[in-house]
Structures are given as structure tokens and as C-alpha cells.
Amino acid sequence: MSRSGGTADDPGDPQLAAKKEAGAAAADRFVRSGMRLGLGSGSTAIWAVHRIAELLDAGKLTDIAGVPTSPATEELANQLGVPLTTLDEYPRLDVDIDGADEVSPDLDLIKGGGGAHLREMVVAQASDHLVIVVDDTKLVPALGATHALPVEVLPMAERPEREFLESLGASVVKRTTPDRGVFLTAQGNPILDAAFGPIANPAALKLRLDERAGILAVGLFIGYRPTVLVASADGAQRVRTLSPAS
């Protein structure tokens, strides 16, 4: 199998086409030879990994190594022949390319739809530049508008943290796998999906949740100042760029 695997266009699924376009554009525009990269997770970020593999195959990129943010991304990179490294070897990364579940007008994010937000946050904090790739269904007027907030909790603290989240007004559901088993993160912890509706002050909520000892990771990415590449699912536009206000 070539490093790039199959990346044929899917004209029948405009959202999939948009995800591919955004992911590939991030690799084309921001990855250069010699870089150390964060490799994000999810159905959009994987297309950056595919594109990096294609560019390596074509000899247009050399001396690349990436830190994967999830076991799934690690497996994909290994399948495609994208070299991997660790934060032990490279504690600073040049560029991190990742997806998001929601992007606010201030370019703050909800992440964790795949349950990888703890590692994603570690890698984002280790990176000089965060590039977020989304289709335009992810743009929201306020965080929480369309997605529950993923909250990774220590197993012994599940009940008190659930009750704490409920006391703040959230409807809380413990995440399950497609076959109704308990979903566990790569660290072996459950996730409570806390639906708040539109969150008036995400930074203040994050501070309150970060004070809780049993809460290990909250999928709120506030103040990361990402560059956001947005591909339109209706095919009307090419990928557009949202940059943080200076």
C-alpha cells in the first residue's frame, strides 16, 4: 500500500469532501520539510495525515516527524509511513493540525468528540502554531450551541463530578461505545458529555471545572489563537482561513 492510501474524492458526500479539503489544505499550506508536527484526531484531521503521506511519497516533504494525539492517529500514521516521534524527544513542535467539534467567533473551541482532548490539549500546548481544520457545520455563534462538552473524569470521581456538572445546569450523559459499552479514553477514563447549551462565559466555566480534582480534562480550548481552515460542505467556496484578531 502506498503511504497515502486511498484519497479518492467522494462527490456523493459533500461533508466528507469538505473534511478532506480542509485537512489536505492544512498540510499543503503549513507543513514544511524539517518540521516536528502534532497530528490531530478525528475524521477531518486524518486528511492532513493522508496529505503529509502523499507529499512524503512524492519527495516534496522530507525530515518530518509527528506526535499523534490518539491511538487511532498513531495507527494511521504507521499504516501510511508517516514517521512518528514523542514529546520526550521533541518537547516543542512547529505546527499542530487538529479538528474541532465547535469553533466560536473568537476562535475558541470545543474538542473531544473522539475522546482524545486530553492528549490533543497537551500537543496543542507544545506547539508553536495550532491549525484547526473543520467543515463549516462546526462554526457556531457560541460554544455549547450544538455539542455537549466532553469531560474526562477519574473513574472513582464519576458520581460527584456528574453532580457538580448538573449543579452548574448541565444535562450529563456518560459516553458509550456504538455497541452500548462504556467508552473509555486512551488513559482508561470515562467521559461525561455535559450539555450546557450556549455557554455565556466559556473561560469562567473552564476555570471552575479545572478546580475539580476528579475532572482530568475539559474539551474547552480557550485562547489558543488557532488558524482555522474552513471548507464549505456545499462546495460553494474553497477553503477559507479564519485568523485570530491581532
Q: Show which residues are catalytic.
A: 120
Measure the CA angle with vertex 13, ends 8 and 197; round to 5°: 130
* Minimum CB distance to ligand 5RP smaller for 113 or for 205: 113
What span, in angstroms and rounded, lies between the C-alpha atoms of 108 and 152?
Answer: 19
State the cell numbers at 168: 452548574
* Minimum CB distance to ligand 5RP smaller for 159 or for 174: 174
Query: Which residues neighbour 202 within 8 Å (Cβ) at sequence distance 6 or greater?
Result: 104, 108, 143, 144, 220, 222
Per CB under 6 A, which of residues 34..73 are in contact with ligand 5RP?
40-45
Task: Give the residue ranges of DSSP H helices in 44-198.
Answer: 46-57, 71-80, 117-125, 158-167
**Binder to ligand 5RP among 35, 56, 100, 229 (CB under 6 A)?**
100
Query: Could you tell me which of 78, 97, 80 has the C-alpha nearest to residue 29?
Result: 97
Answer yes or no whether residue 116 interacts with ligand 5RP by CB under 6 A. yes
Residue 208 φ then ψ, to 5°: -65, -40
Answer yes or no whether residue 117 interacts with ligand 5RP by CB under 6 A. yes
**Binder to ligand 5RP among 38, 112, 202, 226 (CB under 6 A)?**
112
Answer yes or no whether residue 190 interacts with ligand 5RP by CB under 6 A. no
**Binder to ligand 5RP among 101, 108, 161, 193 (CB under 6 A)?**
101
- Structural contact between residues 228 and 107, judged by C-beta atoms closer than 8 angstroms: yes
**Binder to ligand 5RP among 74, 102, 108, 120 (CB under 6 A)?**
120
Query: Per-residue x/- marks for ligand 5RP, 21-40, CB under 6 A?
Result: -------------------x
Query: Could you tell me which of 39, 48, 99 has the C-alpha nearest to residue 74?
Result: 39
Answer yes or no whether residue 80 interacts with ligand 5RP by CB under 6 A. no
Answer yes or no whether residue 175 interacts with ligand 5RP by CB under 6 A. no
Query: Could you tell me which of 142, 163, 46 has the C-alpha nearest to residue 97?
Result: 46
Answer yes or no whether residue 226 interacts with ligand 5RP by CB under 6 A. no
Answer yes or no whether residue 15 interacts with ligand 5RP by CB under 6 A. no
CB 88, min distance to ligand 5RP, A: 22
Looking at residue 137, the DSSP 8-state letter turns out to be: G
Binding site for ligand 5RP (CB under 6 A): 40-45, 98-101, 111-117, 120
